[in-house]
Amino acid sequence: MFDNKNNNNYSPSQEPAAEMEEPAATVEEAAPVDGASEEKRSVQRDRHTIFVGNLPFDTADADVRELFSQQGKVELISVPKDKLTGQPRGFAFVDMSSDEEVQAAVAAYDGNMFEGRVLRVTKSVPKEEVEKKAPKKRAPAAGGKIYVGNLPFDTTKEDLMAYYTEQGEVVEVYIPVNPATGTGRGYAFVTMKEEDVEKAIEATNGIEFMGRPLVANIPLPPGEKAQNPRSNRTKLYVGNLSFYTVVETLTELFEEFGTVIDCYLPEDPATGGSRGFGFVTMDKDSAFGAIDELDGCELDGRIIRVNEAQPKGRGSFNNNDNFETQE
pLDDT tens for 168-191 read 989 999 998 877 777 888 899 999
Residue 200 domain flag: yes
Task: State the Cα–Cα distance between residues 174 and 137, nearest whole angstrom.
Answer: 13
pLDDT for the residue 146:
92
For residue 252, what are the contacts with CB-CB under 8 A and spacing of at least 6? 51, 93, 124
With CA atoms as reference, report the closest residue to 186 among 221, 213, 226, 158. 213
Task: State the Cα–Cα distance between residues 117 and 140, nearest whole angstrom.
Answer: 25
Residue 261 domain flag: no
- Which stretches in the chain have pLDDT values below 50? 4-44, 130-140, 225-230, 313-323, 325, 327
pLDDT for the residue 125:
65
Residue 159 domain flag: yes
Task: State the Cα–Cα distance between residues 305 and 12, nearest whole angstrom.
Answer: 26
pLDDT for the residue 59:
85
3-state secondary structure at position 2: strand
Residue 194 domain flag: yes
For residue 149, the enclosing domain spans 144-217
Residue 94 domain flag: no
Pairing of strands 212-213, 298-299: unpaired
Question: Nearest 5°: CA angle at 47, between 42 and 53?
Answer: 155
pLDDT tens for 52-100 read 988 888 888 888 999 999 999 999 888 888 777 777 888 888 999 998 9
pLDDT for the residue 224:
52
Indicate the length of the chain as a whole number. 327
Amino acid at 206: G
Domain count, the chain: 1
pLDDT for the residue 39:
41
Contact yes or no for 190/145 (Cβ under 8 A): yes
Task: State the Cα–Cα distance between residues 252 and 305, nearest whole angstrom.
Answer: 17
Contact yes or no for 232/282 (Cβ under 8 A): no
> How far, in Å, are 41, 78, 282 from residue 245 at the CA level?
11, 10, 19
Residue 248 domain flag: no
Looking up residue 162, the CATH number of its domain turns out to be: 3.30.70.330
Contact yes or no for 2/238 (Cβ under 8 A): no
Residue 191 domain flag: yes
Contact yes or no for 167/196 (Cβ under 8 A): yes
